[in-house]
Chains A and B, each alone.
Chain A
Amino acid sequence: MKTARITFILVIAMLLFGTLGLAVAQDQPTETYGMVVFLRGSEFFNWAYAGMLDAAARLGPNVQVQLLGPAEWDASLEAREIEQLIARGVDGIIATAGDAQTMNSAIDRAIESQIPVVLFDSDAPESQRLAFVGTNNYNAGCEAGKAVAEWRGDEAVVGISTFPGPDHLAQRVQGFQDCLTAAAPGARVAQIVNDEGKVDRAEAAITAMLQANPDINVVFAAHGNPGPGAAAAVRNLGLQGQVDIMGFDFGLPVLELIQKGEIRATVGQNPYLMGYMSLMLAYGARHETEVTAGTGFGPYPGLVDTGVQILGPDDIAPFLNPPSFE
């Protein structure tokens, strides 16, 4: 009887505390942050959203996140999503700019509506966004240059596949050249070819480059597309084992070629950290403290470099199954 009474009291106590706890949790208002991307569903942005989800879990159960944006590369649809998030009065917006000019005004309207906006991967530097979280392309090229210097030392003779125009590619190539020759003064870049940004053109261009420069022993693909083209070129000329390929990004064809031994390594960006850091910065901006308010010390640095890692055959397994979100 006594035991039953104690059990009854415990159950009542638990119910009481449970209800109180629920009330306390309900007192904390839910905060909603939206991530707006182009090519929604792509592996790169799924990695970024996985980072955002992990950051939300760290911040607490009252922080809710959503993945939004068009499945195609259409910045105007992204801008429309941002407008809708402004209308809903969300607490923060994380976005990647499919096209900076198209998105500037929507981003600025969000800021004017007191909604923190943090951009990741692709910046819109002329907008009023609070911060940009992404890869410093000069540093990314630099890491590739250092790795090639380790592979071949002063004997490295490199051919680069890129295309004229985009600043970020020029920065990667510059970083590559600077760090390669700093680490291995005898190393040199023999030729830079125009692959027009296409896999099929890369094959023809790199094949011709390798014939014109028989001493090239490394090909650096400065963006995601020429890696498979470089592998095909090396295959065409029967130079497997004599020419190393450094790819960029970890698209599945590049990873498969690393598994086959046709590409030696690739420069992997860190989309997970982009998503994670972006939410942390937007949350920090939403929760100004007495110290940061009005001082300009806000916990959101203007630029955050999420770094890169050089991924070889032993490193790629975790990337073969990217996260998927509907």
Chain B
Amino acid sequence: MTQSSEAHPPAIGVLPSSSRLSKLLRGRTTALALLSLALALVLSILSPQFLTSTNLTTIATGMIYDLLIASGMTLVLILGGIDLSVGSILGLTGVITTMALQDGVSIPIAVLIGLSVSVLCGAINGFAVAYLKIAPFVVTLGMMSIARGIATVLTSGYFVSGLPEAYLSIGQGTFLGIPNPVYIVIIILLSFHFLLKNWKPLNQAYYVGNNPKAARLSGIRVSRMLFVGFVISGLMSGIAAIFMTSRLAMGFFQFGLGSELTAIAASVIGGASLNGGSGNILGTFFGVLLLATINNGFILLQGSPNWQNVVSGGILVAALVVDAYRRRKEERE
């Protein structure tokens, strides 16, 4: 259950108490957590490999990119927008970072250049949506094409490889047998979740998404909020690019292709609404976990690869149906 599950948006300028928010969040998120747990239980009975530490590490490692991108997407969805360019920004950031490394730029500077590119892309999206009032779908569709196009032109389809070992250790290094990015992503997500829930400037995103006009009248700087939302989304894609290129030891213009769909699916499964005003990072985490567990279970149970996408798509449709049902119920009330 999320904020949008309330019959009416909260009075503008009056934030709900954190205890009430927690209660609201618990409903949907708890259901997802229980669903994931039930799935894990079934899989551990059907496949002895499922509950091994190696397999759980595999699932966690496979989630890191989606978790970052989906958390940025969740914020944008809460704000009532959508960001179709996240995958392309990932691809472009990865290409620019790895090309800088190939040209002998030091690792911190190359990473900084890459992240600056991702922030710039997010800022362009945010500026066009917040200040030029262009529909997010159109703006980010354009950025999706531009960023992928630049990444392609820069590399001509080449892989960018031969990266320094020290850079590879960012993604490939481990602590207690678990890849370092897993820890970093957990810290980022926990911080993001806490700030979105408790930090007023970020928490106002829910009001902007619920009713932008009312939010503006209540003194919330809606345009700035939207701008920041897209910048954060871009940055999350950039961080995912650093992890992906360092883990896979290459930059490639096709990295992140289709990631926007997974991110939207995970966010919506986690409770975000395409109409804005709802969603939370913990729910998105479980959305990503659910999709990753299904994919993993499919392989462990020797499922046909042809059915894998059908099942993942089916879960997304089910989440949308639940969301639509919930909204209709709210309207009736």
- Enumerate chain A interface residues (CB-CB to B < 8 A): 39-44, 71-73, 162-164, 191-194, 196-201, 203-205, 207-209, 211-212, 225, 228-229, 232, 236-237, 251-253, 256
Across the interface, do B299 and A205 meet the contact criterion of CB distance under 8 Å?
yes
- Chain B contacts for A163, CB-based, 8 A: 305
**Is B30 close to A, CB under 8 A?**
no
Across the interface, do A193 and B299 meet the contact criterion of CB distance under 8 Å?
yes
**In this complex, what residue of B is CB-closest to A73?**
B152
A-B interface, 10 closest residue pairs, ranked by CB to CB distance from nearest: A41-B156, A194-B305, A204-B62, A42-B157, A39-B157, A208-B299, A72-B152, A211-B49, A207-B58, A71-B153
- Chain A contacts for B305, CB-based, 8 A: 162-164, 192-194
Contacts A164-B305, A208-B296, A232-B248; is A252 near B58 (CB within 8 Å)?
no
Selecting from B4-12, B76-84, B195-203, B252-260, the interface stretch reads: B252-260
Across the interface, do A73 and B157 meet the contact criterion of CB distance under 8 Å?
yes
Across the interface, do B54 and A232 meet the contact criterion of CB distance under 8 Å?
no
Across the interface, do A71 and B156 meet the contact criterion of CB distance under 8 Å?
yes
- Enumerate chain B interface residues (CB-CB to A < 8 A): 47, 49, 52, 54-55, 57-59, 61-62, 65, 149, 152-153, 156-159, 161-162, 244, 247-250, 252, 254-255, 257-258, 292, 295-296, 299-302, 305-306, 308-309
Can you list 13 A-B pairs, Cβ within 8 angstroms, ordered by A?
A: A71-B153, A71-B156, A200-B248, A204-B292, A211-B49, A211-B300, A212-B47, A229-B248, A251-B159, A253-B159, A253-B161, A253-B249, A256-B162
- Chain B contacts for A199, CB-based, 8 A: 248, 250, 252, 255
* Min CB–CB distance A222 → chain B (angstroms): 11
Across the interface, do B295 and A205 meet the contact criterion of CB distance under 8 Å?
yes
* Min CB–CB distance A235 → chain B (angstroms): 8
**In this complex, what residue of B is CB-closest to A229?**
B248
Across the interface, do A209 and B299 meet the contact criterion of CB distance under 8 Å?
yes
Across the interface, do B296 and A194 meet the contact criterion of CB distance under 8 Å?
no
- Chain B contacts for A194, CB-based, 8 A: 305-306, 308-309
Across the interface, A42 reaches (CB within 8 A) one of B55, B149, B158, B254, namely B158
- Chain B contacts for A191, CB-based, 8 A: 299, 302
| Docked CA distance A163–B61 (Å) | 21
Across the interface, A204 reaches (CB within 8 A) one of B54, B249, B296, namely B296
Across the interface, do B258 and A196 meet the contact criterion of CB distance under 8 Å?
yes
- Chain B contacts for A252, CB-based, 8 A: 158-159, 161-162
Contacts A198-B257, A199-B248, A200-B248; is A208 near B55 (CB within 8 Å)?
yes
> Which of A72, A192, A203 is the most central at the interface, judged by chain B CB atoms within 10 Å of its CB?
A72
* Min CB–CB distance B144 → chain A (angstroms): 13
* Min CB–CB distance B285 → chain A (angstroms): 17
Across the interface, do A200 and B255 meet the contact criterion of CB distance under 8 Å?
yes
| Docked CA distance A208–B302 (Å) | 10
| Docked CA distance A83–B247 (Å) | 43
Across the interface, do B55 and A211 meet the contact criterion of CB distance under 8 Å?
yes
| Docked CA distance A200–B258 (Å) | 12
- Chain A contacts for B255, CB-based, 8 A: 198-200
Across the interface, do B248 and A228 meet the contact criterion of CB distance under 8 Å?
yes
> Which of B52, B61, B244, B292 is the most central at the interface, judged by chain A CB atoms within 10 Å of its CB?
B61
- Chain A contacts for B302, CB-based, 8 A: 191, 212
Across the interface, do A237 and B54 meet the contact criterion of CB distance under 8 Å?
yes
Across the interface, do B248 and A212 meet the contact criterion of CB distance under 8 Å?
no
- Chain A contacts for B248, CB-based, 8 A: 199-200, 203, 228-229, 232
Across the interface, do B156 and A40 meet the contact criterion of CB distance under 8 Å?
yes
- Chain B contacts for A256, CB-based, 8 A: 161-162, 249
- Chain A contacts for B152, CB-based, 8 A: 39, 71-73
Contacts A72-B152, A256-B161; is A212 near B247 (CB within 8 Å)?
no
